[in-house]
Amino acid sequence: MGYVVLAVGGLIVATVGSIAYRSIPPWGAVLACVMVLLAAVFARVWLSWTGLGTFAALFMSAAFVWTLEGPGGSVLIAADALGYAWLAGGVVAIVVAALLPRKLLVGDHVKS
């Protein structure tokens, strides 16, 4: 059930970020990337690498879909500097979550 929650979370974070990144340029993109970082850290702490992978896969898939043209020719993520910043920032946030030391995330008291 945890993987389903993280998958839906990845979809929601990608969708909300893709809508909100243009809200107050450039701070909307920065805040959206911070949201991705927090969600990715949560996924890694909760279900370790497989949780982070689940979150990242669904986040990337949803973000890719939002870059495609709709029936009327519109897109949710525009191919401009702000759109590229949002996409690259989301990827960087997931990589940062992956590179954080386990000891920093769960502490010394957890053994596995």
Predicted local distance difference test score (pLDDT) of residue 109 = 74
Domain membership flag for residue 46: yes
Q: How many domains does the chain have?
A: 1
Q: Residue 111: which pLDDT band, with cuts at 50, 70 and 90? A: low
Domain membership flag for residue 112: no
Q: What is the pLDDT of residues 4-54, one digit of tens each?
A: 999 999 999 999 999 999 999 999 999 999 999 999 999 999 999 999 999
Q: What is the pLDDT of residues 62-106, one digit of tens each?
A: 999 999 999 999 999 999 999 999 999 999 999 999 999 988 888
Residue 18: which domain range? 2-106
Q: CB of 89 within 8 A of CB of 74?
A: no
Predicted local distance difference test score (pLDDT) of residue 102 = 86
